Structure 1
């Protein structure tokens, strides 16, 4: 009996100490609330050749957030800070892409320039934004949140200058594919974009030493330099990757609404991306990271948003309810709560041993 209780305690400890345990628990709680409120939450149907359902909507609407959370994870791990300019970079990338496609017109029904040129230009501008942020953080040693506050403040203004203060509409079916559907495929294209982004970054991290280097720099930059790592360059690189992924998310968001709306594309998504990293069990002060955890965190946030909308919560009231749930989730993942929970388990195990005696 004593051995059984001990094995149970060891098994529980082994499971709960896994990095993805709490993120998955939080996601399960949110999904469970959906099932209680909406019994057909997991129901997926096909209407007019397109998949419909709450789960599809969560993955579709959360695709941009998933892409952003990947870049935010790398920046957080390397620099111990966050890039709060990603939402503005999304708007800038969308503005550049749409302006090139429209040839400077407010509305166009045909591409004035090749789509690939417009997308590459948007990515180039995104990389330049990342280089600017990375230079301030890695070379000038400015606090990440302060450094990226510049583009956070000015980015949407830059996007407005590019679009001349107008919403640029691209009414071409080929442009709508990135945010809609490919041919007769019933799965929304943004889901594929998010999956491909996660796979590419994951393969790069796992098949190269980049992930290990980023963790080393985040844990101790000075020690990393002593063993030959270029800490400044690694931090610089993570900001470039983060902004590039923000550019990808910006193109997807722009294609979804077939326009460049500088005021609304990516609005407040930077905060959700930071929260996704935190909910994924990643330490915001840098060091070890989990891409899978950040993806789970992003899905959890989007599931929460979809849940609140399904419960008829208005857009104005949404932040209040969202904040309350987020506070609960963060507390569940806090070290103090984990220590308290572990103490309860130990106490129950001790009581079980005493009862066995």
Structure 2
């Protein structure tokens, strides 16, 4: 079974979906609204489920080659005391791969390199869905309508296509937190691959890349829309008394490198990820808070599951029903878990609640932290993404 598809959105999920669909025998066009790809972004951690999805798409080896394994680190308090240690070697033994860190721009480039020239069309914004004939779907763009056997809506947390499919859905909600992040301007001598520090109403974390640079992020409880003329200066003051290497990471950052985004999520779960010949994927389907580091991994799972369902057939409609049945319960459960993790992390600000949480974490056995990661990361593709036959879409 094969056909032609339009993927709306050239982010991680959209590019991965395009790779998977092509492996399944489909012709694919990716529409990206940005006129130029600036390779912006900070860093990303990929758990075993994300790596396994990339392996299924044929790009796992390339990503591993550009990434740095996260073997050492854990969670601390602002004074530097450990709450929990991360055992990357134990994760590798359990899952076959450690968590890895990679610049988001590098991951984008590797995904784009797996697609043929001309597959990705920039400066093409899909604003709405268009009614077409049976077994078809269409999207409206600035230069007309594009029709296909399948439309994949991977247009992000503020998805216009999701709003068109489910006009009664409330859409994304502000999580109560905002995130600032950046990559250091050069290599830093750091003692661990990954660290997370929880204070009252604030979180600071970093991951180290293969080239020695580090990505850091600061999550702050904040009203939405608050912006600062010099956000780096605000952070240097806010975290001035936190343990090393927090001040050093901020000192090694250029002011113009700081990205600032309010965190929105789909608190109200969608009733379906598919409607007719339109399917939702990634943040458009299940935008979640970043507290478990699973947002991109879930989008990669979506892409592989969709391709595998279409490769198995027997019809597109049956494949989309199977995709919805497999992806919606899992991704929405991960989103709920991420929300709970945020409430127990930087979301805590009460002076009595924070020390109680810290004491509970210190008392927990190390295997508890391992089980928490395994609960979400131990996923395998549901089937091959290459088709068993060449039946044409009906």
Q: Which TM-score tier does this pair reach, normalised by the shorter chain?
A: under 0.3
Q: Relative contact order: is structure 1 or structure 2 higher (C-alpha 8 Å, sep ≥ 6)? A: 1
Which of the pair has more CA radius of gyration?
1
Please, what TM-score do these two structures have when normalized by structure 2? 0.24
Between Structure 1 and Structure 2, which shows a larger proportion of strand residues? Answer: 2
Between Structure 1 and Structure 2, which shows a larger proportion of helix residues? Answer: 1
Please, what TM-score do these two structures have when normalized by structure 1? 0.26
